[in-house]
Copies of this chain bind each other. A is one copy, B any other.
Amino acid sequence: MSADTGFADLFAKGLPDPSPRFAGLPKYNFVGGHGDPRQVPVEELARAASNVLMREGDKLAWYGMSQGPQGYLGLRQFVCDKLGSHRAIKIVPDDVLITSGSGQSLELINRVFINPGDTVIVEELTYGAMVKKIRAAGAKIVGLPLDEQGLRTDALENILKDLKAKGVRAKYIYTIPTLQNPTGSVLPLERRQQTVALARAYGVPIFEDECYADLVWTLPNSPPALYALDPANTIHIGSFSKTLGPALRVGYAVASWEVLSRMIGCRTDGVPGAIDQMVVAEYFRTEFDAHIKKLTGTLREKHDVLIEALAKEFGTAVEITPTTGGIYLWVKLPDAVDVTKLFAPAAKAGVAFNPGPEWACDPNSSKSHMRLCYALPSKDEIREGVAQLARVCFEQTGIPARSGNVARA
């Protein structure tokens, strides 16, 4: 391996922190949007890959598969079909931009809209990486209050009114209305209608992130996407990371051409990998509904195992926000517990979780919360991991005093 060489004084100023060396993954991994390795349909994907490569593999010879900068046409068509049948969104492939995961959509939309000093409205609890991206772009964040149904439209109206009075037009309202991250709520139809009406009245675009929306246990009965209610004032993004696997870097944005054309203009790495796109489209074209049914069935079982394990190990010391889908639970420990102080000792015991403060516009509001993702670990790992977490938590804080029928204190 080559030695370091004194390049450091040549590096640009103001770089992000360098990456640490990869140190392997934790044994009990409740972190991040990993999927369930036992649920990857490897045989079906192998068959889909073989079929689509035999049929269209020669298109690999062209940049963008000879189909321009928006992505593989077969995948854009599938996105249209899926959003049409499941999310009440009526679009054509020209309205879709395939991106490298939905993460690249977040990145590009921030690039298109934000100059330093701009203001954006973001749900007070939200996807941690998005908060980081917005701060890196130099925007001010106004936190939008949530309740158990999702964003509070009364609060949204006050915020919009207040900003208007100050002469500020926010660049967007970022919301995860369907399986909110991290709370798991699904915004009811009436609030959706109020939200799009308010956004339109105040001239602020909606930035709707539906990257978990396919994992609602009762998907056909979910209320329509915000995009479906006001296409012209909404930017909609989604992903196949949660339904098939995040190692695939395949997400999408749906928006007017004036937005998509600027996103493409800002993109420097071309269309995402062709075979990933081809395989997703080929498999999901015929198998999406069956796949989702099977996947959410298993995820729901794991959800129940996690709830049971938390109840057993933490008893009354834990409050769980109920959900109807997804891959995570938003969990509150007593106020006396500062989860940021649990992080290192838990890691030492092989347990990783998302600390609440990283998932909040105001970190102090969530210092006793954690997000626990349950797709990756097996049921046994969930049980063991939660037991380890309770042990560490007790050692650090004296809470929980009792696990199962055993008093610790």
A34 and B61 within 8 A (CB): yes
Q: How far is the CA of A70 from the CA of B12 in the complex (A)?
A: 21
How many copies of this chain does one complex carry? 2
- Is A94 on the interface with B (CB-CB < 8 A)? yes
Q: How far is the CA of A38 from the CA of B58 in the complex (A)?
A: 7
Q: How far is the CA of A80 from the CA of B32 in the complex (A)?
A: 31
**CB contact under 8 A between A60 and B103, given known A17-B265, A169-B10:** no
B100 and A18 within 8 A (CB): no
**CB contact under 8 A between A268 and B107, given known A11-B112, A58-B40, A244-B60:** yes
In chain B, what residue has the closest Cβ to A33? B63
**CB contact under 8 A between A261 and B46, given known A12-B111, A205-B10, A269-B100:** no
**CB contact under 8 A between A53 and B62, given known A2-B232, A5-B258, A19-B264:** no
In chain B, what residue has the closest Cβ to A43? B54
Say which one of A213-221, A271-279, A307-315 lies at the interface with B. Answer: A271-279
A62 and B376 within 8 A (CB): yes
B34 and A57 within 8 A (CB): no
- Inter-chain contacts of A122 with B (CB < 8 A): none
B61 and A54 within 8 A (CB): no
In chain B, what residue has the closest Cβ to A62? B34
Q: Which of under 10, 10 to 19, 20 to 34, or 35 or more describes the interface residues of A? A: 35 or more
- Inter-chain contacts of A344 with B (CB < 8 A): none
In chain B, what residue has the closest Cβ to A17? B265
- Is A245 on the interface with B (CB-CB < 8 A)? yes
Say which one of A142-150, A189-197, A246-254, A362-370 lies at the interface with B. Answer: A246-254
Q: Which of A266-318 contact B (CB under 8 A)?
A: 266, 268-277, 279
Q: Quick one: which of B101, B203, B260, B277 contacts A270, CB cutoff 8 A? A: B101
- Inter-chain contacts of A272 with B (CB < 8 A): 100, 249, 272-273
B39 and A61 within 8 A (CB): yes
Q: How far is the CA of A337 from the CA of B61 in the complex (A)?
A: 32
In chain B, what residue has the closest Cβ to A232? B5
Given contacts A25-B62, A46-B57, A65-B247, 10 further A-B contacts (CB under 8 A): A11-B262, A19-B264, A22-B67, A40-B58, A40-B60, A46-B53, A61-B375, A104-B268, A247-B271, A272-B273
27 contacts between A and B (CB under 8 A): A2-B95, A10-B171, A10-B172, A11-B112, A11-B113, A12-B114, A15-B265, A19-B261, A22-B68, A35-B60, A37-B62, A45-B60, A46-B51, A49-B279, A60-B245, A60-B248, A62-B245, A62-B376, A100-B273, A101-B269, A103-B269, A104-B269, A246-B270, A249-B269, A249-B271, A273-B277, A275-B275
